[in-house]
């Protein structure tokens, strides 16, 4: 059985179990899953209405989601076709005969004859070949719905990740501009001190080099922002262009994770549901292939009337019959088809197990990412505060003539590195929440936790 909770994934790892059972419970899609829609507002937990608007546009305009929805409609049409194969087939025809006929007295005469006819045929399906094929089509349709929901979840997660990355790049650009302004001020002071002969030209050249080093950071950050805007625009189904901004990255909310998240939330993952239904479809296809090796019984019948200018009254005709068709020698065709269906069923079973194990790994990684990236962000924030204080002290000592310019330069470099690393850690932490939402199949709510823990 699945582990009871997911909270232990971020603590010390227990010893691995002897085996991992991934067989779905009987009521797989009743309380949670694709049958119950994915929570439609988990991205609002970050507290940014602009992000919510981008997600809505992506869900409305994404060509990938439209293509997945078209495949769902195709699968549903296949279900209707499979059901129609189990119904009787009725056809009608009205052949027209114009030519010489024989009269009741045995003399030839020119006449026009019409014979409307209705024919019906029905396969009794004694061994369930058609029923199993219909069940396979239904399972395949459910698998296509799981694939559509997988695409939907990936689009939402991609938009959220792309927006968080964009806001982190905006913050990097702001830091680059602030650093450039600080280096410009340092260069001004160095030039004044060099002009008055208070310092040598070495400090001036060092200040010029650091200014130009900060200067190249600005266009580099601007390029990254433009590329991220274009990528996000395409993801939401628009032409490349600017993206609206909301909250800065340091004001985006970190959603609260309940203690003891139940592992049954993994049941709502659409990719896991897709793998399960694919397994069901291949199993039903195997049953249908095996039933095709058994005799088939069908009934046929026809009824109609004969109308002719050579006859005084219409003549009614009808026929009823049955047939049994059983393969005697087919050079192993049906056996090969059954073996191929069995191999596909086995491959689907292994794919389902791999998908389930991947789901456990992704949740474990996401929970660890949320915890560790949060710890890293706290440590980096403390480091940044310390280095900012060191820079103030170094700048004051340099202006008072108690220390060299190299001390201030080292403090500036350290603060810049800490600020950029802190921005990346903040983005990594928020993206870890997005990954966790995706790994759990679309987030969680109090109702979800209550349902899965009962």
Mean per-residue pLDDT pooled into runs of 10, the chain (454 residues): 43 38 36 44 86 90 85 86 76 60 50 62 67 82 85 90 95 93 85 78 84 91 95 90 91 79 74 85 77 64 58 60 61 76 85 87 88 91 92 84 80 90 93 88 66 52
Question: Residue 339 falls within a domain, yes or no?
Answer: yes
Q: Distance of CA 171 to CAs 175, 177, 245, 421, Å?
A: 6, 10, 12, 11
CA–CA gap between residue 208 and residue 215 (Å, rounded): 10
pLDDT confidence of residue 283: 81
CA distances from 158 to 51, 64, 166 (A): 11, 12, 12
In a domain, 2, yes or no: no
Q: Is there a domain that residue 1 lies in?
A: no
Q: What is the CATH number of the domain that holds 434?
A: 1.20.1600.10
Tell the residue number behind the tokens 């609206």, with chain if given: 244
- pLDDT value at residue 26: 36
| Dihedral sign for Cα atoms in the order 351, 352, 356, 362 | positive
Q: What's residue 205's pLDDT?
A: 86
Instruction: Calculate the CA 299 to chain-centre distance.
Output: 47
3-state secondary structure of 106: coil
pLDDT value for 173: 95
Is residue 281 within a helix (H) or strand (E), and if so which, with residue range? helix 270-291
Residue 303: per-residue pLDDT = 58
CB 279 within 8 A of CB 356: no
- Look up residue 70 and give its two tokens: 């078209």
- CA-nearest of 260, 423, 294, 438 to 362 is 438
Which structural domain range is residue 133 located in? 7-11+19-453
Mention every residue, 6+ apart, whose C-beta is less than 8 A from residue 436: 257, 363, 366, 367, 369, 370
Strand ranges (E), 85-185: 89-93, 96-102, 108-114, 117-123
Please, are residues 31 and 452 in contact by the beta-carbon 8 Å criterion? yes
Q: Of 23, 29, 35, 267, give the one whose Cα is nearest residue 145.
A: 35
* pLDDT value for 446: 61
Query: Cβ–Cβ contacts within 10 Å for residue 40, how many?
Result: 13
Residue 122 placed within a domain: yes
Q: Strand, helix or coil at 317?
A: strand
Contact of 297 with 124, CB cutoff 8 Å: yes
**Where is 390: in which H helix or E strand?**
helix 333-400
Give the residue among 123, 121, 125, 126 at the shortest CA–CA distance from 319.
121
Q: Note whether residue 62 is domain-resident.
A: yes
CB 255 within 8 A of CB 436: no
Helix axes 201-215, 405-439, angle to 10 degrees: 20
Identify which of 253, 266, 447 has the alpha carbon closest to the alpha carbon of residue 364: 266
DSSP 3-state of 121: strand
Q: 432: exposed, middle or buried (C-beta count within 10 Å: 0-12, 13-18, 19+)? A: buried
φ, ψ dihedrals at 97, nearest 5°: -115, 125
Number of CB atoms found within 10 A of residue 122's CB: 16
What was the pLDDT predicted at 310? 56
Residue 113 domain-assigned? yes
Total domain count for the chain?
1
Which own/partner contact pairs does 182-187 have at CB distance under 8 Å and 24+ positions apart? 182/214, 182/412, 183/207, 183/210, 183/211, 183/213, 183/214, 183/215, 183/412, 184/211, 186/210, 186/211, 186/408, 186/412, 187/211
Q: What is the pLDDT of residue 425?
A: 93
Helix (H/G/I), strand (E/B), else coil: 313 = coil
Which among 280, 296, 300, 297 is positioned nearest to 334, based on CA atoms?
296
């Amino acid at each position: 059985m699945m582990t009871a909770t997911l909270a232990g994934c971020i603590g010390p790892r227990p010893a691995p179990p002897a085996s991992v059972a991934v067989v779905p419970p009987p009521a797989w899609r009743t309380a949670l899953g694709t049958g119950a829609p994915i929570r439609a507002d988990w991205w609002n937990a970050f507290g940014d209405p602009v992000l919510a608007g981008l997600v809505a546009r992506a869900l409305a305009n994404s060509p990938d989601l439209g293509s997945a929805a078209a495949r769902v409609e195709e699968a549903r049409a296949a279900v209707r076709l499979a059901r129609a194969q189990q119904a009787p087939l009725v056809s009608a025809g009205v052949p027209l005969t114009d030519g010489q006929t024989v009269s009741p007295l045995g003399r030839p005469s020119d006449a026009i004859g019409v014979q409307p006819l209705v024919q019906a045929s029905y396969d009794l399906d004694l061994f369930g070949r058609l029923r199993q094929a219909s069940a396979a089509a239904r399972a395949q349709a459910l698998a296509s719905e799981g694939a559509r929901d997988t695409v939907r979840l990936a689009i939402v997660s991609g938009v959220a990740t792309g927006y968080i990355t964009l806001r982190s790049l905006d913050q990097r650009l702001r830091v680059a501009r602030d650093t450039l302004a600080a280096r410009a001020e340092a260069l001004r002071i160095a030039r004044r001190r060099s002009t008055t002969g208070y310092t040598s030209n070495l400090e001036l050249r060092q200040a010029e080099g650091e200014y130009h080093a900060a200067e190249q950071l600005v266009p580099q950050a601007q390029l990254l922002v433009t590329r991220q805007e274009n990528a996000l625009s395409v993801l939401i189904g628009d032409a490349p262009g600017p993206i609206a901004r909301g909250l800065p990255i340091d004001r985006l909310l970190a959603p609260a994770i309940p203690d003891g998240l139940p592992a049954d939330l993994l049941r709502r993952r659409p990719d896991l549901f897709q793998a399960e239904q694919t397994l069901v479809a291949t199993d039903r296809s195997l049953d249908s292939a095996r039933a095709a090796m058994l005799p088939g019984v069908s009934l046929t019948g026809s009824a109609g009337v004969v109308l002719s200018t050579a006859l005084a009254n219409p003549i009614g005709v009808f026929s009823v019959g049955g047939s049994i068709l059983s393969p005697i020698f087919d050079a192993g065709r049906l056996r090969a088809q059954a073996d191929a269906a069995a191999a596909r069923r086995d491959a689907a079973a292994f794919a389902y197990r791999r998908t389930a194990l991947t789901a456990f790994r992704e949740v474990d990684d996401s929970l660890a990412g949320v915890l560790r990236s949060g710890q890293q962000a706290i440590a980096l924030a403390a480091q940044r505060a310390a280095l900012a204080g060191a820079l103030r002290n170094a700048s004051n000592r340099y202006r008072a003539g108690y220390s060299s310019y190299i001390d201030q330069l080292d403090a500036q470099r350290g603060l810049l590195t800490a600020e950029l690393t802190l921005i990346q850690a903040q983005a990594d932490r928020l993206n870890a929440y997005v990954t966790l939402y995706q790994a759990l199949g679309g987030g969680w709510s109090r109702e979800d936790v209550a349902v899965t823990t009962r």
